[in-house]
Structure formats: C-alpha cells, structure tokens
A and B are shown apart, each in its own frame.
Chain A
C-alpha cells in the first residue's frame, strides 16, 4: 500500500509542472500548482515517516521495464533524508503560494511553478537513488534546476557572473563524485553491492574513493575552502528557493558523504576522521566570522549555512574517528548528533530565509542598516524569526541546542579512549564548537536586534505591514517544529538511534543521549509557569520616550547599526577580515576644511586573494601555453596523428 503511495508521490510531483503549463491561461486555477505540490509533499511525508519510524522499504526499478540502470530504493537513511526534504519543503511551498504571486508575474511565475517541483524531485531522486546513474542524474539536475530558479529572478551581468561561478564549482564537485563512483564500477553496479566490493578494494583505492567523495560532496556542502559559491548563489535566489537551497540541498551533500563513508566504505583509518574534523572546525569558525561582518541579511544567512555545515562535519569527523578506534557506541552518538543537526538546521535555516523573504516583502530591503522596529509592525513574523534565531544559536528549549548538546557529549565521550590523540583532539574540538556557538549568539543578537528591535531606520521599515496568512502559516509550521523538537527531542532521537544502529555495525545509542529528553520538558514547564506567573503579576506600565540624556528627541539614526555592533568582534579577529581601506581627502581652499572625504572599505575574503586568484591565473597561463599546439597547419595535425600511431606501436612492442 505504501509502495503505491510512494509511486503516486513521484508521479504527482512530475505532474505538477505539466499541470502548470496546461493551466497557464486559466486565472481560476492560479492556486492549483501550489495545492497539488503541497498534496504530493504531504504524501511524501507520510511515506518517509513510514520508512523512518517503522522501517519499511520501497523500491522503484526501471530495469523491470527497460534495461536501464535506474532504480530508487528507500532504506532508513534515505527515508530520514526524504522526510527532511518533504517536511521542510511543505511549509516553504505554503509560503511561496502567497509570496510568488506577489513578486512575480506572468511567464516568470509559471516558470517558477514548473521548476520548483522538478527541483524538489531531483533532490528526492538523489536521496533515494540506488544506482550510480540515478544518483548522478539527480545530482546534476539539482544544480541545473536551482540555477534556473536563480535565473528567473533576473539576469543582470553581476547575477550571471555569480551563477556561472555556481555552475562551475558544482560541476567540479560533480566530477569528483563521478570519479568516486567510477572507482567502484567494474565490481558493483548498484548501492547494495558497493558495500561488499569495498571490502575487497586495496587501502589506497579506498582512500582515493574517500578523498574524491570528500572533495565532491564538500564542494556541494560548502565547506571551507570550497565555499566560494555559497554566499554568491544563495542571496540572489528568490527567498523560498534560498530556503530550499540552504536548508535542503546542502543536506543532500551530507547524505552523500554519510552513504560513502559509513555505508559503502564502512569507516576507515582515523586520519579520515581528523580531516573531516579539521574541515568542520575551520568551516564553522570562518563561516560565522564572515557572517558577523555582513549586513546584507541573505549573505549573512548564507555564511551561517557554511558554519552549520561545519558543525555537522564536526560530528561526522568524530564518528569516523570513533569507528576507526573500534568504539561503535560513541560513533553512534556522534553520528546521531550530526544527523539530528541536519534536520534541525534544515528547519531553522528555512525559517530564517522565509523570514528574510517576509522582511523583503514588507520593507522592500534586506540591508540591516535600513531596518529596525519590525517586531512592533510584524508581530507574528518577528516572533517566529526570534524562535529561529534562538534555535540557530543553540539556546536550550529550542531544537538547535539538542544537536549541539549531543555533539558536546560525543566529544566528552572521547576522553575515555585509550588512543591519546583522540582523547586530546576531540575534547579540544568541543572548545572550538563552544567558540562557534558564542560567535553565532553575538551575530544573531545583532541580526534580530538591529532588524526587529528598536526604532525603524528608514521609511520603508517604518511602513512595513504584517505579511499574508499563508506566509505566516508556512513560517509558523517551521517555528512549531523548532520548539517541539527542542522540548521533546525523544520523538526523533529514538528512531535516529535505530538508524545509526543500522549504519554502524555493533552500535547502540548510549542511554546518556536520551537523558536530555527527561529533563528538558520539566525545565520548559518551569520556565513557562514562571514567565506566565511573573507576566500576570506585573500589570502597571506606562509609556515614555527613550532616555536621551535630557535632550529633545532621539533621531532614529542614533541607534547602534549592524556594522557598529560587530566592530569589537571584527577588531579582535582582525586577521580574518583583511580589508582594503582607502581614504581620500580632497583639500579645500583653506586646507583645514576638506572639500570632500571619501572612504572605501572592500573586504575580499582571503580565499579569493590567496587561493582562487592564483590558481585561476596558473590555469590560464598553462592554457595559453598549450595554445601553441594549435598551429592551424593541417600537416602538423597529420603529424600529431601519425606520431600517436608510432608511439602506440612502440608501446605495444616494448611494454
């Protein structure tokens, strides 16, 4: 029965673009694509829930109809990620059902409703594929459809440049992933066989597979130094698409790495884990440090995605180190932490991007320096954005805390190991995670404080109005999920435990992991009672003006700006933000009063200056040298061919 549901889910998703194209002209059927898509996503959630909570399996195999190596199979890991995709996309589509008609008209709207379900379907394909061909098919389609969705928003010169970089890096990553699959190819043709064939591979080959998978999936996930495309591509997409890209698409890369490292290769030497740990720590720190320096809301959120992927990689690295040291119980703890953070990040990052969409809808700007006082004008949106901020910072009673707590506990568990380097490095990684958490708190205090609190800094912010009901409902669903998982984490943890037990042989989720779920509801109840009690007590209040040292009237510009808020932190970490500052003073007639002063500060990340520019220049130089082979003389070309023939003959004779 559920197999039929799965099949129908795929069919309806495919049908939505068709329906959109057909019903283009009927104004009555405006809402049809959205409703249809939400319906199919609902079915998808039910299917994935059956797969994740009850362990049912589904397969769709094209080989039954045509001799094509294209098959889908949903096991527990795929079901978890399918659940992630569908349950996060549903509120996003609900949001878009009202957002898209307000911002896009005519052909652009139709193209959005054509490409969105195809984009979602390609992600579903990636996480449910069971043959390399199906996986790579979905992988490439993900990139193409998301690029198409970005292009719908406009195609100026700057945007096309950013989309080009996005496509380029995604293809480079895909090449690495293809390479990783190719190394399996003579022996295994679908995922079920890869585990067995990996045990027969010699260690250098396994290392090559791991490194290729790490590089390929890392490019997609956005770890430093392969993160360059993230802050260029995510901000220029329409807000719901940014939510999907940041919240869901990055997780498919994590899925790929988990499949390769744990399912196919079954773990490896501990230096793999240290590599992933290093990548995670550096990405986490640099991501949040770059985010602190931003004041464009979407770029800031994009950098935070880099940071959270770093946190996920910290958990994955710990799990790999534990597996290498034959500690499956601790590995289960670390892997559960990483997977739970995938789910949590998908939920609260999508909520943050939807909130950004709501802000741009209401105030028509995403520059933090122009916002302010939005909480009073958009109370519901503001409250839900606050919930998302609390979740991403990892404060208790919200979902981000649970996965960070689990990661901390897995680092603590490392201290009991006999391997000295693991017992030292992993607890120190907890310090890095604490620093990342502290920086994230500072950054989001800035974001929420500057955008929603205080007084409006511009006329648009002052005239913002609450957004429409579907948009609120979409955000509300995600916010509720944040709070529910934050207070009752046991709902998800138990099934995640079963999932990790399947992935890692001999693993068992330690009881310490669930101790949190016994104490959090009590704390939540206590805090709720206390807050309600005190709020009921304090009645008398009277409104005044903000204290301005006795001077009349405070200008709205006399508040802290986002740049000012982050200045102390940027000054302390100044090694990271090497800005090029130019100050030009044009002296006036008496030289003490300048005619004009201009100050310009440009921040290019060090990676662009020291890694990308030189490598691009080197490749271009080599390419120019190789151009000399292209002489244009036909006899030289014939000479090339005959030279190759002679070389082949010699090779066959003497090799």
Chain B
C-alpha cells in the first residue's frame, strides 16, 4: 500500500511538472501585462517534439543522443526521493541527501557533455558557464542539506521530513532559517531561473542552460525540457517538504490524502507566485556576479552548519 502511494507520488511529480512550468509562464505573462499562453501549452510542446525526428550533427558521437536519456533517467530517480503527500517516498528512506545531490550532478555532467558533442561554440560556452555555476552551487547545496540532516539526526530525506513534522511550527530554528535561505539561493542557481539564468532568453550571449540545448531537436529536446521541468518541481517540493511539511498525510486514509493534496496545492501556489513575482521584477545578474550570489549562499550554509553545533 505504501509502495503504491510512493509510486503514485513519483508519477504525480513527473506528469504534473510541465503544468507547473505552464502556470509560471502564465503568471509571469499576466504580471507583465500580457495575456500569456495556456497553462497546458508545455504538454502540447512535448507531444509535438516527441512526434518529430531527431536531427543529429554528423560529427556527433553516441554521447549526443545518450545525454538527454541519462539526464531524464537521473532526474526521474531524484523525483523518487521527495515525499509529496505522504511522509515517505519510493527512495526516501534509503536514499540520502548526498545521493540526491550527486544524482543531480550526474544529470548535469551528461548535459554538459552532450552540449560539447554538438560541436558548436554555443555548446561549449553553455557547458563552460554551467560548469562555473554548478561548481559553486554544489558546496552550499550539500552544506545546507547537511545542516538540516544534523539537526534531524538522520540522513534520509523522508527521515528529515518526518522529524520536521514533529516539531512545533512557531519554534523557529536559526539553523532551518539559514538553511532555507541558502537552499532558495541554490535552487535558483540549480534550476537556472532569474537572477542566475534566464530560461526564456533568445540572446545566445545571455544563455547558460539554453545554450547547451541549442543543437537538440525532436524527442531528445522533449526529454531535456521535461527533465528540466521535473527538476524545478522536485526542487520546489523538496523545499516545501523539508521546511514546511505540516499538512502531509500521516495515514493512508482517503480524507488525509485529500487534505494533504489541497495543502500541497496551496503551498505550491504560494511558491509559484513568489517565483513569478521575483522573475518579473529582478534583473538577471551579470555572469561574473553569480559567484558573488553563490558566495552569499555558501556563507549562509556554513553558518547553518556551525549553528547546529552551537545551538545544541
């Protein structure tokens, strides 16, 4: 029964990820005084891309077509780590936060290789910039998750969620506050949103993630787009599950699950709104200011880890 619930959670995450993308785009459009496309547009895009054929550069090797598949597979495995509605996930108990961070690194590594296999300057440029951002984002990511793990005395994601659920909502812990801000900054860098990277830009010189996928088309591009949507959704649900998990079902009854779904919808709506507002009001950072941005995240994460020992 728990297994079925966990499988359903993963399926929900994967299938609803493009919808999250669509809602964000629509909200941004409304804030910017445009009408915006329908929220179901990403699904139509994916269907269209899956029906087309792959255009592969003649000089590319098998890595070019393998990279999107590995990216999608690794992101899918990461989606199995995060509890959505119920306090457990498919890999929530055995998968710990180190495995999560490094699975995302696996996905990113292959994306960088795929970009370089295209053989164009843009691929190399995107890969080089992505290398910069992901290198500097990995340490605060791990340290922030580690500080939460130290406080919860467990390394598994599901364990951390269950510990937080047992805490009192009004008892703000300095460690969690610092880790939350650090993770938000890292999440912006990892998912490539403004102010680190503009996911809707058309100017190649401002691209990081888009430059890496310029050569891709057809089903490969569909897999990459879907994987990036899943990654955004997973990161958002991870933030919700680790820091504000109250409302999750503690038993497998239909009523509890229904309440949990509504609560999750409200939390996601709040996050999506915040994301859309920030993206519409803040300018993208110049690339050499991104290390500064991630340096702030690192300082907060280090402080969070030190506080776990001081506030005992």
Contacts and interface: CB of A to CB of B under 8 A. Distances in A.
Query: Do A and B form a real pair?
Result: yes
Given A390-B109, A409-B155, A445-B112, 9 more contacts: A376-B60, A393-B105, A393-B109, A394-B102, A415-B150, A424-B309, A428-B305, A453-B113, A454-B119
Contact of A375 (B63, B124, B214): B63
A534 B102 contact: no
B53 A542 contact: yes
B142, B287, B301: which has the most chain A beta carbons within 10 Å?
B142
A277 interface: no
A598 interface: no
B127 A445 contact: yes
Interface string A553-585: 010001110001111110110000000000000
Interface of B: 53-63, 65-66, 69-70, 72-74, 76-77, 91, 94-95, 98-99, 101-103, 105-106, 108-109, 112-113, 115-121, 123-125, 127-129, 131-132, 134-143, 146-147, 149-150, 153, 155, 214-215, 218-220, 223, 287-288, 291, 298, 301-302, 305-306, 308-309
A455, A516, A530, A538: which has the most chain B beta carbons within 10 Å?
A538
A434 interface: yes
A438 B134 CA distance: 7
A390 B67 CA distance: 13
B103 A396 contact: yes
A216 interface: no
Main secondary structure of the interface of A (DSSP, over half): helix
A442 B94 CA distance: 28
Contact of B57 (A379, A409, A546, A565): A546
A545 interface: yes
A437 B146 contact: no
Contact of A544 (B58, B102, B143): B58
B69, B74, B131: which has the most chain A beta carbons within 10 Å?
B131
Nearest to A430: B146
B94 A519 contact: yes
Interface string A410-443: 0010011000100110011011101101110110
A382 interface: yes
A445 B69 contact: no
A535 interface: yes
B102 A395 contact: yes
Contact of A439 (B135, B149, B150): B135
Contacts of A523: 77, 91
A401 interface: yes
Given A435-B139, A569-B132, A527 B116 contact: no
A428 B291 CA distance: 19
A452 interface: yes
B69 A534 contact: yes
The 3 closest A-B pairs by CB, nearest first: A560-B124, A449-B116, A442-B131
23 contacts: A375-B61, A395-B109, A409-B155, A428-B143, A428-B306, A431-B305, A438-B138, A448-B113, A454-B59, A455-B59, A527-B74, A534-B73, A538-B54, A538-B220, A540-B53, A540-B54, A541-B56, A542-B54, A544-B55, A546-B57, A560-B128, A568-B128, A569-B131
A490 to B, nearest CB: 14
Nearest to B57: A546
A115 to B, nearest CB: 38
A196 interface: no
A541 B55 contact: yes
Interface in A501-549: 512, 515-516, 518-519, 523, 526-527, 530-531, 534-535, 537-538, 540-548
B131 A554 contact: no
Q: How large is the interface on A (under 10, 10 to 19, 20 to 34, 35 or more residues)?
A: 35 or more
A241 B71 CA distance: 36
Given A541-B54, A546-B118, A564-B124, A427 B146 contact: yes
Contact of A441 (B91, B98, B131): B131
A450 interface: yes
Contacts of B125: 560
B38 to A, nearest CB: 28
Contacts of A540: 53-54, 218
B309 A420 contact: yes
Interface string A446-464: 1011101111000000000
A284 interface: no
B58 A543 contact: yes
A347 B129 CA distance: 30
A499 interface: no
Contacts of A452: 61, 63
A428 B134 contact: no
Given A396-B102, A526-B77, A424 B138 contact: no
A454 to B, nearest CB: 4
Contacts of B142: 408, 430-431, 434
Contacts of A435: 135, 138-139
A405 interface: yes
B99 A405 contact: yes
Contact of A547 (B72, B124, B153, B214): B214
A568 B103 contact: no
A195 B94 CA distance: 40
Contact of B116 (A379, A439, A445): A445
A428, A535, A572: which has the most chain B beta carbons within 10 Å?
A572
A567 B124 CA distance: 12
A424 B310 CA distance: 9
A328 B115 CA distance: 47
